[in-house]
Structure 1
Amino acid sequence: MSKRHVGKICVYCGTPPATMDHVLAREFLPISRRDNLPKVPACGACNGVKSGHEHYLTAVLPLAGNHRDALGVLSTMVEPRLAKNAKLKAQLASEQRQELILKNGMLVPSMTLPFDATRVDELFKFITQGLLFHHFGAILDRKKHGVWAGFLNRQGEEMHRQLLATPAPASPTI
């Protein structure tokens, strides 16, 4: 174990760390914006799982990005990432489809790609734990405390709308 890891534990699982992990992967940002990213101690297993999610998302997310940096990332970084991940490239190629979407009242053709949203969910859990440690020195044990990150599908959105439209139950009077 490196001297810089003595007395520390992996912020994600509590085992001895093997490395310092960037809480937010450098690859999510253009090279000019990668300075001073927070790092936390991580074991090899957690770092590997988190890295797998990061590699997947840094290859797929820029394809649909609206941020001003997305086009730059798309034009310079996605192709090399997919070249390193033949399995993902083949999956995206084989599962792409053309669909009609409603845009400004008209149906227009649009390409869709498969997307594994559970990878975003899992990565956000790691990021939450890393930021809690970096900013507050807190270790959040996922086995004892829930860490949730998620996205609403259409049914979830409808349920959420209904819940917000329903008045909150009255407080009991004493």
Structure 2
Amino acid sequence: MGASKQYKGKDCAYCGKLGCSSTNDHVIARSFFLDTERGVGLQIPKVAACQRCNNEKSELEGYIGSTLLIGSKHPEANRYRSEKIRPRLDRNQKLRKELNIDSPPVWTEINGLLQPMHAVTVDVDKINRLLQFIVRGLYRHHYHKPLPHDMTPDVSMIRPEAEASMWASVSHFFPPEAPRINCDLGRGSFVYSGVQSPVNEGFTAWTIGLHGQIPLHGQDGSADHWWCMTRPTPEAVAAARSHAGRPYEEK
């Protein structure tokens, strides 16, 4: 069965709409990897997607691939910047100017070598939106069904010193015997781990790192990966509270 038929008419992995998929989508963009890494050995998860979600995700991937990945700490980071990022920015002079990429770089030690680096301001909302897509795709790929409609991915950056306490706060949902997922695609190009609650299948926790753990600087300080949790939507929480507070009615 060809890929187009295999993924056509399925439930979209991203929005969950029934039977609307028209294409397959790589959960992690192929453009995030060097061409030499995209051989038979690199198995990027693929899912069914509707055209609307596929288009939106593709736009976000193009933006992230041209901005955030400038800070790559991958073993072949300079090659990635030369082969992937530079041509994109040459085609998008407006974005190049916004990033101020032509200003003098700061020499930074990466993988034991001094390399020229730029501090780039990236739209956090776009990063979070793309990671929400990715988490939904990983959920569909690993657990073989779309994320339930009453659950939503929550994305944040966690400082290294706060990560242990974060895991401790949710450890009762994820006992040690709960199966863990650990995957490294493209020698650190995309690294993720995930775990699913045995009590609520829609409740999952993920950590995601890009390109050798790119240094991230947000309101919570410095971090090098994202913490993503699928949790009940605000509407689902409100409905549960309303139901719990409803007075008992005799029949």
What is the TM-score normalised by the length of structure 1?
A: 0.71
Q: Give per-residue Cα distances to partners, 1:118-147, cap 9 Å, x unaligned.
A: 222211111111111112212114x51121
Q: 1:19 aligns with which of 8, 20, 23?
A: 23
Displaced runs of 4+ in structure 1, greater than 6 A?
94-99
| Corresponding position: 1:40 with 2:47 | yes
The structural deviation recorded for 1:6 is: 4.6
More contact order relative to length (CA 8 Å, sep ≥ 6): 1
Q: 1:66 aligns with which of 73, 77, 85?
A: 73
Conservation of the 8 A alpha-carbon contact between 2:22 and 2:48: yes
Q: 1:49 aligns with which of 28, 37, 56?
A: 56
Could you say which structure has the higher strand fraction? 2
The number of residue pairs the alignment matches comes to 149
Q: Structure 2 regions of 5+ residues with no counterpart?
A: 107-116, 170-251
Conservation of the 8 A alpha-carbon contact between 1:92 and 1:113: yes
Task: Pick closer, same or farther for the CA change 1:90–1:49 going to 2, 3 Å.
Answer: same
| Corresponding position: 1:112 with 2:114 | no
Distance in 2 of aligned mates of 1:7 and 1:116: 33
Distance in 1 of aligned mates of 2:103 and 2:10: 44
Could you say which structure has the higher helix fraction? 1
Structure 1 SS opposite 2:100 = helix
Task: Pick closer, same or farther for the CA change 1:98–1:74 going to 2, 3 Å.
Answer: closer
Task: Pick closer, same or farther for the CA change 1:32–1:95 going to 2, 3 Å.
Answer: closer
Q: Amino acid of the residue matched to residue 29 of structure 2?
A: A
Conservation of the 8 A alpha-carbon contact between 1:97 and 1:113: no
Partner of 1:135: 142
Conservation of the 8 A alpha-carbon contact between 2:9 and 2:22: no
Partner of 1:9: 11
Q: Give per-residue Cα distances to partners, 1:86-126, cap 9 Å, x unaligned.
A: 33223213997999xxxxxxxxxx85322112222211111
Q: Structure 1 regions of 5+ residues with no counterpart?
A: 100-109, 169-174
Structure 2 SS opposite 1:112 = coil
Partner of 2:193: none
Structure 1 SS opposite 2:121 = coil
Q: 2:154 aligns with which of 141, 144, 148?
A: 148
Q: Amino acid of the residue matched to residue 14 of structure 1?
A: G
